[in-house]
Amino acid sequence: MVVPARAFDHRCDPQVVLDNLADLVFVLDTAGTVLDVNETCLRLLRWNRDDAVGQSVFDIVHPDDVAVAISSLGTLQDKETGTPIELRVSDVDGVWHWMEIIGSNGLLDGGISGLVCVARDITQRRMWEVAGGDVARFQQVLHHAPSITMLLDGGGVITSVNHAFTRLLGHDPSLVVGAALATFVDESSLPLLSEALQTVRGAERRSSVELAMRTTSRQTRLIRFDLVDQLDDPVVGGIIGSGYDISDLQVVRQELEFIAGHDALTGLANRSLLMERLGRMLAEESGVAVLFIDLDRFKPINDLYGHDVGDAVLRQVSARLLDVVRHSDVVARVGGDEFVAVAANAGDRDVASDLADRIEASLGRPYLLDVGPVKIGASVGVALSEPSSTVASLLSAADVQMYHAKSERRGSVEPRAMERRRSAGERRNLAIELAAGLGRGEIVAHLQPVVDLVTGNVVGMEALARWNHPERGLLRPASFIDLVDDAGLDAALGDAVLHSACRVLEDVRVLGFRLELGVNLSLGQLTTNGFCAHVAAIIEPYGLTMSKLVVEITERATLLRNVPRGCPSPEETLGELHEAGVALSLDDFGTGHSSLNHVRRFPLTSIKVDRTFVAAMARQREDHAVVEVVIGLARALGLSVVAEGVETAVQLDMLRQLGCDRAQGYYLGQPMEATSIGPWLIDRRRYGAVTDQQR
């Protein structure tokens, strides 16, 4: 028989073979530093290559197993092959995996020049070996574990369960075994349970779900279940379910959800919640009226009598607004002295005008305060929904109407209002000027230090856009950033800022500072095709890796507009950046531009508490509590917290005590131009963490 020559010619690419092995392969130097890994290793431990290479392998070995690892690596250096060892290794999420590892010595092989370790994940085997070896003891341990452990059959019936189930929910264990898990689940969570049972039987063979579970005392507790399908395993033969009580976390979440959706001073909805509710009303009903309310003569009262009196007025205004509208209507505070009311079933102009009149009349009545009676007024603008209306179009139409109402009444317009409402012509001119400025390199990054509150070290810099305007001097983003998206200049501006910042980080690396770089992203950038690769192509020539990049997003940057056809959604782009190792930070948290919804929607790494909370922290107990809750919640979700706008030593101290991870602010370091950064860092290293103010 003639064997076809092809059968012998088949040659695989060794790299491809290596990457397709089920086993993890590490190449280490004699000190345990990772020189190379295969794809399986990256996939199973959820590493990215940049972070893996150069890391000490002992950093991921369980502390109790480090001694074994070190000694086995030591003996391997004098042998060709090592003896297999078993130890625990952590993945990026901190989950421990039992591994069986065998090493071989490739130090003298020029192609390898390292110790090759092949590892196999034996977590499951290990668990059930223990069970098989000493069932009684294993079950004892399992029974007294703090979290629920149970076994379900393919139909969701409980075949075995530990004491934690009874301890948390009260049900008699003898009645639990043999009953469907669904029997103990609150009706509201039943659809979630059936979805989770379906998912766990799918290709992934695992799923997680949060279920409201009924207790014997007729309450519910929220339990998070992680389910793993081991029905095919001859020893297990079931779905393993681990459950943790997260009811307390839920209370904190709800509190924070309220805080994130409401104005701290008046308790009214904030802009974020307003937009959400208005969006829902537009989708569900026709005839929605939006009333934009701006107080007249509020500022002089605030200036004359101080903020406390101003705050008292705002609280009374809120109460009156809630009195005038119906219970189902929404009232929000959207600015210092600006409010919005949204009424359903008020599509008729007369109905809406009547409401506007009643609001004006109510707010025009004198306010009785400690300082005596005070009188202010209000201008109200009304917009009615049409089939084509959007949240943004209605709010902006009502705003414009309010502005007309105010100018009619006064015969003049406040300068602040003028600036906020630049005419179309002015916007166009400024956009043309900005485009030219970008071309001339007038847009640069100023960098503000980010300080680690535990070590006191500068760990990163945030890039803040500045326009070196030839006539008007140095401009901050407030005077041009709103134009950038509309004028399609976001890509150009983002690139200019990124280049400018990378250049600085490259310079200071030579001085021994390896810093993270924070950049603020706009909606346009988030919906650009290939944005992630584009960023990598910019930063890498400066010697910066994606894992050193932190992108900061606000809710505003991800809301409001529909994504253009053929473009990725902000979620997709952020997902890609996350995959590439970039950290994501939610900016201005607590202002109504960012809310808790985002904590779940995006793969976040940190939250930046807005500086208004930091500023108010020392003065107001509620603000102190907000920061405290934010930090607690972030902890529970595995996120870190950065405080913005730290201006005093007192604030810094409070944040430290609350366990805040990092901080930024004038007290720690102002945003600085490129040439000042190096000298500032060196000074700081030499003199310790002495701020400009203290020196």
Give the interface with ligand C2E as residue ranges (CB under 6 A).
Answer: 448, 464-465, 476-478, 481, 494, 497, 520-522, 552, 587-588, 611, 644-647, 664-666, 671
CA separation (Å) from 271 to 314, 336, 393, 651?
16, 12, 15, 27
Per DSSP bridges, beta strands 206-214 and 338-343 are unpaired
As a whole number of angstroms, the distance between CA 48 and CA 59 comes to 15
Q: Quickly count: other Cβ atoms within 10 Å of residue 601's Cβ.
A: 13
**Binding pattern for the stretch 172-211 against Mg ion, x by CB under 5 A and - elsewhere:** ----------------------------------------
Give whichever of 520 and 528 is closer to ligand C2E, judged by the CB atom. 520
Residue 490 binding Mg ion, by CB under 5 A: no
Provide the angle, in degrees to the nearest 10, between the axes of the packed helices 490-510 and 531-539.
30
Which of ligand C2E, Mg ion, none binds 645 (CB below 5-8 Å, type-dependent)?
Answer: ligand C2E
Q: Is 516 in the site for Mg ion (CB under 5 A)?
A: no
Closest approach, Cβ 583 to ligand C2E, in A, equals: 15
Please identify, using beta-carbon distances, which residue of 151 and 550 lies nearer to ligand C2E: 550
Contact predicate 685/508, CB 8 Å: no
Q: Taking contact as CB under 5 A, which single stretch among the options 194-202, 343-351, 543-551, 588-596 is the one that binds Mg ion?
A: 588-596
- Distance between CA 587 and CA 506 in Å, rounded? 25
103 binds, among ligand C2E, Mg ion, none (CB under 5 to 8 A by kind): none
Residue number with CB closer to Mg ion (437 or 518)? 518
The least distance separating Mg ion from the CB of residue 614, rounded to whole angstroms, comes to: 10
Site for Mg ion in 541-570 (CB under 5 A): 552
477 binds, among Mg ion, ligand C2E, none (CB under 5 to 8 A by kind): ligand C2E
- Which one, 34 or 663, has the nearer CB to ligand C2E? 663
* Neighbour tally for 153: CB within 10 Å: 13
Phi/psi region, residue 443 (left: phi>0; alpha: psi -120 to 50; beta: rest), is beta
User: Could you tell me which residues come within 8 angstroms of residue 257 by beta carbon, excluding any fewer than 6 positions away?
Assistant: 595, 596
What are the φ/ψ torsions at residue 32 (nearest 5 degrees)? 90, 10
Q: Which is nearer to ligand C2E, 325 or 599 (CB)?
A: 599
CB atoms within 10 A of CB 349: 11
Residue 476 contact, options Mg ion, ligand C2E, none, Cβ 5-8 Å cut-off depending on partner type = ligand C2E
Mutual angle of helices 271-284 and 247-261, in 10-degree steps = 90
Contacts of 397-405 spanning 24+ positions with Cβ under 8 A:
397/290, 398/290, 398/291, 398/292, 398/340, 399/292, 401/292, 402/292, 402/293, 402/294, 405/379, 405/380, 405/381
Among 23, 294, 516, 588, binds Mg ion (CB under 5 A): 588
Task: Specify the residue, 141 or 474, whose C-beta has the smaller distance to ligand C2E.
Answer: 474
Nearer to ligand C2E, 169 or 464 (CB): 464
- Rounded to a whole number of angstroms, the minimum distance from the CB of residue 664 to ligand C2E is 6
Contacting Mg ion (CB under 5 A), which of 23, 337, 587, 623? Answer: 587
Strand (E) or helix (H) holding 71: helix 66-76
Q: Would you state the structure tokens that stand for residue 426, as one six-digit string?
A: 């002015």
Of 75-83, 383-391, 519-527, 619-627, the window that binds Mg ion (rule: CB under 5 A) is 519-527
d(CA 582, CA 603): 10
Amino acid at position 501, single letter: A
Residue 539 beta carbon to ligand C2E: minimum distance, rounded to whole angstroms:
14
Reduced to 3 states, what is the DSSP secondary structure of residue 210? strand
Burial (CB count <10 Å: 0-12, 13-18, 19+), residue 634? buried
For residue 635, the minimal CB distance to ligand C2E (Å) is 22
Binding to Mg ion, residues 607-626 (CB under 5 A)? none
Q: How far is the CB of 343 from ligand C2E (least distance, A)?
A: 33
CB of 493 to Mg ion, least distance (A): 14
Which lies closer to ligand C2E via its Cβ, residue 32 or residue 645? 645
> Min. distance of Cβ 460 from ligand C2E in angstroms?
13
Smallest gap from residue 521 Cβ to ligand C2E (A):
6
CB count within 10 Å of CB 618 equals: 13
Q: Which residue is nearest to Mg ion (CB)?
A: 552
Nearest approach in angstroms of CB 518 to Mg ion is 6
Piece in contact with Mg ion (CB under 5 A), picked from 329-337, 437-445, 579-587, 649-657? 579-587
Residue placing its CB nearer to ligand C2E in the complex, 294 or 587: 587
Q: Which is nearer to ligand C2E, 175 or 690 (CB)?
A: 690
Task: Pick the stretch among 396-404, 424-432, 521-529, 644-652 that binds Mg ion (CB under 5 A).
Answer: 644-652
Cβ atoms of residues 593 and 611 within 8 Å: no
Asked if 520 interacts with Mg ion (CB under 5 A), we say yes
Nearest distance from C-beta of residue 587 to Mg ion, angstroms: 4
Question: For residues 301 and 660, which CB has a smaller minimum distance to ligand C2E in the complex?
Answer: 660
Q: Are residues 77 and 115 in contact, defined by beta-carbon separation less than 8 angstroms?
A: yes
Give the distance, in angstroms, between the CA of residue 268 and the centroid of all CA atoms in the same chain. Answer: 24
Cα(first)–Cα(last) distance of the chain, in Å? Answer: 91
Enter the tokens of residue 548: 């050193």
> Segment 26-85, which members bind Mg ion (CB under 5 A)?
none
Beta partners for 335? Answer: 338
Contacted by 96, from ligand C2E, Mg ion, none: CB < 5 to 8 Å by type: none
Contact 666, 455 (CB under 8 A): no
Number of shown-chain residues binding Mg ion (CB under 5 A) = 5
- Nearest by Cα to 149 from 117, 118, 176: 176
Q: How far is the CB of 588 from Mg ion (least distance, A)?
A: 4
Q: How far is the CB of 28 from ligand C2E (least distance, A)?
A: 41
272 binds, among Mg ion, ligand C2E, none (CB under 5 to 8 A by kind): none
Residues that bind Mg ion (CB under 5 A): 520, 552, 587-588, 644
